[in-house]
Amino acid sequence: MPINSDKPQNWKSDITLSVDFYNRWFMRFAPEAYRKTRVETTKQVESALQSTDNLLDIRPEILKDDPSVLPILRMATAPPIARDRLIGLAQVSPNLVKSMESDNRIPPQMKTSEVAAELRKIGSVISELADEDIFTWLRSKSKPTKDEVYRASTVVADRLCGAVADPIIRNAQEKRQLASVKKWLEDRGYRYIDFRHGLKMESMEPGTFSFRFNVQVKQTGRSEQVNIPIDIIIKPLKGPKSHLPILVEAKSAGDFANTNKRRKEEAMKVAQLRATYGKGVQFILFLCGYFDSGYLGYEAAEGIDWVWEHRMEDLAKLGL
């Protein structure tokens, strides 16, 4: 029996309630999440400044020993430069820069002499473009005060956090959603199981649940299987032990535009699940925020149902 997908007469009011729910959370908790990340990032910037003698000494050895300083240094320029812009300005290997920023390492296949030459070019670009309005000591080559270093670090931290503001908010929202489901389930006698303790979907005990579980599915036209992540996996307290757990995808959105770009992801995921485990597999969306009628209609047409976070009691309709 569908929960919300077959009730389009309720969608408009639920969309309004969901947007209000998200906005209240954002106004109360998003600034705190952002500030916490900014404090941690400021410490990382201070450490990067210390290792580069406050941007007065950006030697290849420093970048090689700690590749993680590179995104910080990109935000220390005027104007701040994107990764691809740095690659173009310095005329260096894209693989080198991406490896430093994504994997925090120098590509092992690169020759030592080549690495030194490339890192020297990166350091030269950063030094030439360093923002002297922030790092006021660069003109005089003087030693900055502790307050000057802290002030400059907070500006760079703001730039870094601004570039990843959406992921910061999404991560905070995801944690809150999972915590809400965890409390709802535990209040009803369910027990959390860490998936790392050998948890198997087919052998889950009734009344247990887990988060961020990898489910094996078949690939279209291929023999091998791949893992797809599922946010929440729940084995109902009641019902046959042989039945598969309920799979729940927690989704939140702070605007309507991005949800419609992402709606095909769920359709593809549920198609893989059904191809592997049969049409009876239960895959539910747990929604909070900006999901409009276009998104809901698309999901309903794909046979995907959902529960709104502002009305969590609908989870009980899943037999939980």
Instruction: Answer yes or no: is 214 within a domain.
Output: yes
Q: Name, in order, each residue with C-beta under 8 angstroms of 309's C-beta and a sequence gap of 6 or more.
A: 18, 21, 177, 180, 286, 287, 288
pLDDT 10s digits, 85-130:
999 999 999 999 999 998 899 998 999 999 999 999 999 999 999 9
| pLDDT of res. 190 | 95
65 in the same domain as 177 = no
Question: Is residue 205 located within the same domain as residue 272?
Answer: yes
Task: Report the alpha-carbon distance of residue 209 to residue 201 in Å, rounded.
Answer: 10
**Domain tally for the chain?**
2
CA angle 81, 258, 29 (to 5 degrees): 80
Query: 251 lies in a domain?
Result: yes
Would you say residue 35 lies in a domain?
Answer: no
Tell me the CA distances in angstroms from 246 to 106, 210, 213, 309, one per residue in order. 43, 11, 12, 17
pLDDT of residue 44: 92
Closest CA to 256 of 225, 219, 287: 287
* Averaged pLDDT score across all residues of the chain: 89
* pLDDT tens digits, 217-240: 877 666 677 888 899 999 998 877
DSSP strands (E only) in the chain: 191-192, 208-218, 225-235, 246-253, 283-289, 305-308
Answer whether residue 3 shows pLDDT above 90. Answer: yes
pLDDT attached to residue 221: 63
254 pLDDT more than 80: yes
Local confidence band at 19 (pLDDT 50, 70, 90 cut-offs): very high
Task: Identify whether residues 183 and 131 lie together within a single domain.
Answer: no
pLDDT of residue 197: 64
Is the residue at 48 inside a domain? no
> For the segment 31-79, what is each residue's pLDDT rounded down to a tens digit?
887 888 888 899 999 999 999 999 999 999 999 999 999 999 999 999 9
- Residues 8, 10, 12, 13, Cα dihedral to 10°: -170
- Pick 222 or 21 by higher pLDDT: 21
* Span 253-280, average pLDDT: 82
- Both 188 and 247 in a single domain? yes
Domain that holds residue 78: 55-143
Q: Which amino acid is at 70?
A: L
Residue 275 CB neighbours (<10 A): 14
The answer to whether position 37 is within a domain reads no
> Does 122 fall in a domain?
yes
pLDDT digits (tens, 9 = 90+) for 160-202: 887 777 787 888 889 999 999 999 999 999 999 887 766 777 7
In a domain, 155, yes or no: no
pLDDT on residue 267? 85
Q: Which residue has the higher pLDDT, 215 or 219?
A: 215
The answer to whether residue 183 sits within a structural domain is yes
Identify whether residues 124 and 186 lie together within a single domain: no
